[in-house]
Structure 1
Amino acid sequence: MTGSETVETDDGARLWVERSGPGEPLVLCHGGPGLWDMFGDVTDLLADVTPVVRWDQRGCGRSERCAGPWTSERFVADLDAVRRHFGLDRMALLGHSWGAQLVLSYALAHPERVSTLVYVAGTGIGPDADWHSAHRANFRARLADHPERLARFQELTDRPWLTEDEERERAVLQWSAEFEDRAGALEPARRMADPWFAINDECNRALNDERERVWGTPELYDACKSLDVPVLIVDGARDIRPRTAVDSLERALPRVCRVILPDAGHLPWVEDPKGFREAVRTAL
C-alpha cells in the first residue's frame, strides 16, 4: 500500500482514500449505503492483476463525518473528486451492491470518464418491488437455518438502543446471511466488521429512500440503452437478492457481459475467489 490520503471535495468534505500501487488503478466503490470500504480481500486477490484505489464514501468509515447531503448526485461528484485527485482522465470502476448503483450512476453522468465498469451484486434498474420482498424472505430463511442467530438478531433489532458492541454483533448476524456457506458464514461476516465503524444510518435511509422514489423509470432504462461503456456484471447465484432483478439492466446495456458464479452469495470474491478474479481480469 502507498498509505492513506485525504481527498477534499468541492464542498469541503474530507474523504479517506488509499491506493495500492503505481499504474492505472481499478477504483473500488463499496456497498451500503452508510458503510465503509471492505475490499481488503479484493485488493489482495487482484494484486497481480491491477492496482486499486479504495475509499470511504462521504460521512462513512474513515472519512470525515459530515451532514451530507445524502444524494446520488453528491456521491457521483465525490467519486469524480477521487478521480481528479489521482489525475485520472478515465477510470476503470468496480462497484459492489449499493456501490454498483453508484458506479452505474457515475457512468451515466460521465461516460467519457469511464473505461470499464464492473457491476457486482447490484439490484438492477427496476423498482424495489422487483426484489425487496424476495430479499426479506430469503434473508429470514437463511438466518432461520441457525435459529439461535435469528432469535438473537430479532432481539437486538427490537431494542430501542444498542451499545457499540451490540451494534457490531447485530451487523455480523445480518451479514452472515449473505454467504451460501451457512456453517462458516460468521467468520467472513466478522471480517467485514473488522475494523468496525459506526454505520451512518441517516445516509443509509436517505439514499435508499431516493432509490425507491426515482429508480425504475423508463428514462433510466433509456439512458442505460445509450451507455457506450463496456460493462461486466458479476453475480453470485446464491445471493439472497434475486438475480432476476438485474435482467433488465443486462437487456438495456449495449456493451455487456455477465458472469454468474453458481456457488457464491452476495460477496462473490469470498466464496469463489478464482472465478471472481478471472472475471475481473478478463474485463480489464
Structure 2
Amino acid sequence: MDETGVDDTGADGTGADGAGRDETVLTDDGVRLWATRTGGGPGEPVILCHGGPGLWDTLDEPAALLPGTPAYRWDQRGCGRSQRSGPYSTDRSIADLEAVRRHFGPERVTLLGHSWGARLALEYALAHSARVGGLIYVSGTGIDDDSTWHPAYKEAFHRRLGERPGRRKRWEELRERGDGRTDAEDREYAVLQWSVDFTDRDRAQAHAEAMASPWFGVNYACNATIGAELKRPSATHGLRERCAALRVPVLIVDGEGDIRPRWSVDSLERALPDVTRTTLAGAGHLPWTEDPEGFRAAVGAFLEGVRHRRGSR
C-alpha cells in the first residue's frame, strides 16, 4: 500500500467447521510466521500469497473456490499474525515462502499470488522452478518499471475516490495526519483506499470493510522497504529474459475494472512461454469477490490442467 492507493506494485488439517488450524512456520533466521491449511483432495497443493507489501492474508475467499485442492495460506513476515520482525526484502520473502512450503511438506506446489503477492509468486517460481507445478498470477502489475504504469493508476485512483466527495475529503484528512493517526483512523484510512478496488460502487465500502475485518494494522515499514526495492532499476533488470526461460504453466487473471492498468501486464504475458490469460468483466482488483464463479471456472480449469500434466509424467 502506498499513499496514493492500496496494493500497487493469506487428513486435510481443517477443523470440524471447515476452518483452518493456526500453525507456526519457523523461517531459517528464526522468525515465526502464521499459516493455516484448508481444503483437501487429489489436486496439487496451492500456496496463496497475499498482497501488500505490509498487509496480511485476505485470501480465504479464493482459497474456498479452489476445487478439490489443499490450500495453504500465510501472513508474510512482519504482517498480520506473523512475528513483527524484519528484515524486509523480495529475497527474504522468497526464502520465507520456501519455509512455508517445507513446513507443509509437498515437494511441488501451485502458487496463487495476488497483487504484490503475484510478483512474489513469480519471483519464487523463477528461483525454484522445480518446486512449482503452476502459477496463478492475479491482479499483478507486470514486469516493466513502475514508472510505466503508476501515473495512470494514480490518476484512476483519485478519479474513482472522487466519485464520493465526502469519502475523498475524509481520506485526504486522514492522509495528512500520517503517523499521527490512531489505530481506528488507520483502519478507516485503509478502508477508504481499498474501496476504490471494486467496480460495484454501491457495495465497494462494504467489501473494503470486510477486507479490514479482522484488522491487524498495516506494516508501513515493510511496505516502504520492499516498495522502494521494487522501484529500483535492478528490480526489473533481466526479468524479461528470466521469464522467457520459465518452464512453468502460468494463468494470468485480471479484473477488467482494476484501476491498475491491465496493459501493464502485457509484457509479462508476451515473455512467458506457457501462459493463458483470463479477464473477468465487471470485476476489480479482487476479482473473486465480484465474479466468484468466473474466478472459480478459470482457476479450476487451470488446476485441472496442472493435475493432468502431473499425472502424465
2:155 alignment partner AA: A
Q: 2:263 aligns with which of 244, 255, 260?
A: 244
**Residue 10 (1) aligns with residue 28 (2):** yes
Q: How far did 1:215 drift?
A: 2.9
Q: How far did 1:181 drift?
A: 0.7
3-state SS in 1 of match to 2:194 = helix
Structure 2: unaligned runs, 5 residues or longer: 1-13, 15-19, 304-313
2:248 alignment partner AA: V
Contact 1:177 / 1:185 at 8 angstroms: preserved in 2? yes
Q: 1:90 aligns with which of 103, 108, 116?
A: 108
3-state SS in 1 of match to 2:277 = strand
Separation in 2, partners of 1:273, 1:51:
19
2:279 alignment partner AA: I
1:209-256: CA deviation from partner (whole Å, max 9, x where unpaired) = 111003332x11000000000000000111000000000000000000
Contact 1:49 / 1:281 at 8 angstroms: preserved in 2? no
3-state SS in 2 of match to 1:69 = coil
Contact 1:15 / 1:55 at 8 angstroms: preserved in 2? yes
3-state SS in 2 of match to 1:140 = helix
Contact 1:18 / 1:53 at 8 angstroms: preserved in 2? yes
Separation in 2, partners of 1:262, 1:268:
9
Structure 1: unaligned runs, 5 residues or longer: none
Separation in 2, partners of 1:190, 1:263:
20
**Residue 37 (1) aligns with residue 57 (2):** yes
Please name the residue that 1:130 is paired with.
Answer: 148
1:239 alignment partner AA: D
Contact 2:40 / 2:69 at 8 angstroms: preserved in 1? no
Please name the residue that 2:46 is paired with.
Answer: 26
Q: 2:292 aligns with which of 258, 266, 273?
A: 273
Please name the residue that 1:190 is paired with.
Answer: 209
2:48 alignment partner AA: L
RMSD, aligned α-carbons: 1.0
The count of corresponding residues between Structure 1 and Structure 2 is 281
Contact 1:61 / 1:198 at 8 angstroms: preserved in 2? yes
3-state SS in 2 of match to 1:177 = helix
TM-score, length of structure 1 as denominator length: 0.97
Q: How far did 1:39 drift?
A: 1.1
Give the fraction of aligned pairs with identical amino acids, expressed as a percent.
Answer: 57
Contact 2:39 / 2:68 at 8 angstroms: preserved in 1? no
Separation in 2, partners of 1:222, 1:155:
44
Separation in 2, partners of 1:43, 1:259:
18
Separation in 2, partners of 1:119, 1:89:
21
**Residue 57 (1) aligns with residue 96 (2):** no
**Residue 112 (1) aligns with residue 134 (2):** no
Separation in 2, partners of 1:37, 1:61:
7
Contact 1:29 / 1:37 at 8 angstroms: preserved in 2? yes
Please name the residue that 1:76 is paired with.
Answer: 94
Q: How far did 1:155 drift?
A: 0.6
TM-score, length of structure 2 as denominator length: 0.88
Q: How far did 1:263 drift?
A: 1.1
Give matches, 1:142-157, under 5 Å. 142-157=160-175
Separation in 2, partners of 1:72, 1:202:
14
Change (3 A) 1:36 1:251: same
Contact 1:58 / 1:65 at 8 angstroms: preserved in 2? yes
Q: How far did 1:128 drift?
A: 0.4
Contact 1:126 / 1:215 at 8 angstroms: preserved in 2? no
Please name the residue that 1:255 is paired with.
Answer: 274
Separation in 2, partners of 1:212, 1:51:
34
